[in-house]
C-alpha cells in the first residue's frame, strides 16, 4: 500500500481569543487510510457549531480529536488558545454527550450528575448546589432519586446533558445526541438544546448526519465529505447558496441536473443536459467551467395544467405521483425529455391535475444555482 502523505507543520501561530476551538490542517490516518484530510475550522465563543455529513465522512473522528480520544496524525487542535494535541481528555475543558447516554445504571440521576464533581473532590455542599442547578437547567428536579432504567429516552438524554454541563466546561461536544430518540422526542429535545445553549452561553459543537437538525439548531455548519470540508456557513448560506453539487444534494431536497454551457450573455446562460433539456440560469452564479451542475429546490418550482404566461424555464411532463405530507404535497413529474422532477407544493395544491395528466413545471432563472462539479469520493 502506498504511504499516505501528511504535510508537516511545526510552526504554531497565535490563536484568536474570539475562538474556543480551532483545527489547523488536521489529518487522521487509520491503518494507512486517511479518515480526515487536512481539515481546518474555527469555532467561535458561544457558538452552536455543527459538523454535518454522511456516515464515514470523518465527522466523529474530528469530535473525538477535540475531546482528546484521538491524537492527530498531523496538524493541531486548539481549545481556548491552548494546543491540545498531547493533552489527555480529563484535562481538557470539554465534556461530551454521547448518543448512547453512557449513564451508570447503578447510580441515581443525582449521583450520575455528581460523579465527575466527586472525582474532582469538590466540597459536598458545592456538589449538592451544582447538581441542583444542573437538574433545574434541564428541568429534571423531581427525578433526582430515580435510576436511568426508570426514565424515558428523552429524560435520559437530559440527564446526560446535565452531567456534561455540571462541570462547567468551556465547550460541550454533542455526538449524534438525539439519534436514539423517536421523531417526537427528537423535536422536543431540539427545542431543549436550543434553550440551553441560549441560556448558558456555552460553545456547543455537534456532530450529526441529520440535515434538518443541523439547520434548525446551528449558528454555523461545516459540511464534510470524504474527510474534507466542502463548505462552512450559516444554515441559510448552506441551504440557499451551496458551493458544490454535493452540498446542494446533501442539504435538503433538490433537483440536480448535469450538463454543459451552451449560450451565455450578461444575464442568462443556458445549460444543456445530455437529454437536450435547456435550462436558463442567471449567469452571475455560474462557476468558471464548461461542465457544471444546476440545482433547483423543489419549493421553487410551480406546477400548472396550462403553460404560464411567462417563465424563464417551462417544461411539459406528466404527474407521476403526489404524496400528501400535511402542510405540503410532494409531486413527482416525469418530463418529456426523460428527467424526473421533485416538486413541493403547498396544501391544498393549486391547479394540480390528476395523476398521469399533462402538467407544466416552471421556475425562474434566478432560482437556479450553477455549481461546481466534484466527483471525488
In a domain, 10, yes or no: no
One domain for residues 27 and 78: yes
DSSP one-letter code for 312: S
Nearest Cα to 17, choosing from 36, 37, 39, 45? 45
Nearest to 160 by CA among 128, 125, 196, 126: 196
Question: Do 258 and 146 share a structural domain?
Answer: no
* 269 band by pLDDT with thresholds 50, 70 and 90: confident
**218, 50 Cβ separation under 8 angstroms:** yes
Domain end, chosen from 193, 213, 240, is at 240
If you ran DSSP here, which 8-state letter would residue 151 be given? S
Q: Are 50 and 199 contained in the same domain? A: yes
Confirm whether 151 is domain-assigned.
yes
Confidence of residue 289 (pLDDT cuts 50, 70, 90): low
* pLDDT category of residue 326 using cuts at 50, 70 and 90: confident
SS3 322: strand
Count of structural domains, the chain = 2
Q: 57, 52, 62, 1: which is closest to 28 by C-alpha?
A: 62
Does residue 114 share a domain with residue 135?
yes
CATH of residue 289's domain is 2.40.50.100
pLDDT at residue 152, as a whole number: 85
Sheet of 82-83, strand order: 33-44, 19-30, 74-79, 82-83
* Phi–psi pair at 246, nearest 5 degrees: -60, -45
Q: Which region among 256-260, 285-289, 326-330, 366-370 has the lowest average model confidence (pLDDT)? A: 285-289
CA dihedral 320, 326, 328, 334 (to 10 degrees): -10
Share of residues in the chain with pLDDT > 90 (%): 45
Same domain, yes or no, for 146 and 268?
no
- Does residue 9 lie in a domain region? no
Q: Which three cell numbers stand for residue 64?
A: 473525538
Contact indicator for 40, 222 with CB cutoff of 8 Å: no
Is 212 inside any structural domain?
Answer: yes
Q: Which of 293, 287, 343 is nearest to 315 (CA)?
A: 343
| Domain end call among 218, 240, 262 | 240
In a domain, 185, yes or no: yes
CATH of the domain at 163: 3.40.50.300
Band of pLDDT at residue 10, cut at 50, 70 and 90: very low
Residue 361, preceding bond cis, omega within 30 degrees? no
Q: What are the pLDDT digits (tens) for 145-165?
A: 999 989 888 888 888 888 888
pLDDT tens for residues 91-125?
Answer: 999 988 887 777 889 999 999 999 888 888 889 99
Kindly report which listed range (82-91, 116-125, 278-287, 292-301) carries the lowest average pLDDT score: 278-287
User: Which residue, chain included where needed, has cell 469530535?
Assistant: 63
**Do 197 and 317 fall into the same domain?**
no
DSSP 301-348: -EEESS--SS-SEEEEEEEEEEEE-SSEEEEEEEETTS-EEEEEEESS
> Which residue shows C-alpha cell 454535518?
52
Give dist(CA 329, CA 130) in Å, integer: 49
Does 14 reside within a domain?
A: no
Cα 286 to Cα 233, 272, 275, 368, 376, distances in angstroms: 19, 14, 21, 10, 20
Q: Whole domain around residue 152: which residue ranges?
A: 19-240
Strands of the sheet containing 369-371, edge to edge, are 278-282, 268-273, 255-264, 291-296, 369-371
Residue 254 lies in a domain: yes
232-250 tens-digit pLDDT: 999 999 998 898 889 998 9
264 shares a domain with 225: no
Residue 338: Cβ within 10 Å count: 12
DSSP state of 377: -
Domain boundary among 182, 206, 240: 240
**For 20-37, how does the pLDDT look when each residue is reduced to its tens digit (9 = 90+)?**
999 999 999 999 999 999
Mean pLDDT of the chain: 86
pLDDT of residue 8 exceeding 90, the answer is no
Task: Judge contact between 250 and 234, C-beta under 8 A.
Answer: no
> What integer pLDDT is reported at residue 293 of this predicted model?
87
* Span 33-58, pLDDT tens digits: 999 999 999 999 999 999 999 989 99
Q: How far apart are the first and last CA of the chain?
A: 19
- Count of helices and strands (H, E) across the chain: 8, 20
Residues 188 and 83 in one domain: yes
Same domain, 111 and 39: yes
DSSP state of 167: T
Residues 77 and 157 in one domain: yes
Which residues, in sequence order, are CB contacts of 209 under 8 Å at separation 6+?
Answer: 52, 53, 54, 55, 59, 176
Which grid coordinates belong to 89?
481528555
Q: Specify whether 200 is located in the same domain as 76.
A: yes
Same domain, 53 and 114: yes
With residue 156 as reference, give the H or E element that holds it. helix 153-165
Is there a domain that residue 331 lies in?
yes
Amino acid at each position: 500500500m502506498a504511504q499516505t502523505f501528511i504535510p508537516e507543520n511545526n510552526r504554531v501561530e497565535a490563536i484568536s481569543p474570539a475562538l474556543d476551538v480551532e483545527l489547523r490542517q488536521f489529518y487522521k490516518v487509520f491503518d494507512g487510510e486517511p479518515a480526515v484530510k487536512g481539515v481546518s475550522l474555527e469555532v467561535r465563543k458561544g457558538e452552536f457549531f455543527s459538523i454535518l455529513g454522511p456516515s464515514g465522512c470523518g465527522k466523529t473522528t474530528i469530535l473525538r480529536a477535540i475531546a482528546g480520544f484521538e491524537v492527530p496524525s498531523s496538524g493541531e487542535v486548539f481549545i481556548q488558545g491552548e494546543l491540545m494535541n498531547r493533552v489527555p481528555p480529563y484535562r481538557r475543558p470539554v465534556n461530551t454527550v454521547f448518543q448512547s447516554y453512557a449513564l451508570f445504571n447503578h447510580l441515581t440521576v443525582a449521583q450520575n450528575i455528581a460523579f465527575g464533581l466527586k472525582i474532582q473532590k469538590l466540597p459536598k455542599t458545592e456538589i449538592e448546589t451544582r447538581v441542583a442547578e444542573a437538574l433545574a437547567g434541564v428541568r429534571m428536579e423531581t427525578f433526582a432519586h430515580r435510576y436511568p432504567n426508570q426514565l424515558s429516552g428523552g429524560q435520559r438524554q437530559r440527564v446526560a446533558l446535565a452531567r456534561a454541563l455540571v462541570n462547567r466546561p468551556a465547550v460541550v461536544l454533542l455526538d449524534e445526541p438525539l439519534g436514539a430518540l423517536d421523531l417526537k422526542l427528537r423535536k422536543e429535545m431540539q427545542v431543549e438544546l436550543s434553550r440551553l445553549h441560549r441560556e448558558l452561553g456555552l460553545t456547543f459543537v455537534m456532530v450529526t448526519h441529520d440535515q434538518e437538525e443541523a439547520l434548525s439548531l446551528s449558528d454555523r455548519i461545516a459540511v464534510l465529505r470524504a474527510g474534507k470540508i466542502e463548505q462552512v456557513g450559516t444554515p441559510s448560506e448552506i441551504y440557499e447558496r451551496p458551493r458544490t453539487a454535493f452540498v446542494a444534494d446533501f442539504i435538503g431536497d433538490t433537483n440536480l441536473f448535469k450538463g454543459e454551457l451552451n449560450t451565455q450573455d450578461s444575464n442568462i446562460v443556458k445549460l444543456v443536459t445530455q437529454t437536450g433539456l435547456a435550462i436558463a440560469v442567471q449567469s452571475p452564479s455560474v462557476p468558471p467551467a464548461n461542465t457544471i451542475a444546476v440545482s433547483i429546490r423543489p419549493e421553487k418550482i410551480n406546477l400548472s395544467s396550462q403553460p404560464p404566461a411567462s417563465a424563464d424555464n417551462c417544461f411539459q411532463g406528466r404527474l407521476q405521483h403526489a404524496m400528501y405530507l400535511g402542510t405540503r404535497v410532494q409531486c413527482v413529474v416525469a418530463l418529456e425529455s426523460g428527467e424526473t422532477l421533485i416538486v413541493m407544493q403547498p396544501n391544498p395544491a393549486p391547479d394540480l391535475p390528476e395523476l398521469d395528466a399533462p402538467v407544466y413545471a416552471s421556475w425562474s432563472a434566478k432560482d437556479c444555482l450553477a455549481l461546481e462539479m466534484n466527483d471525488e469520493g
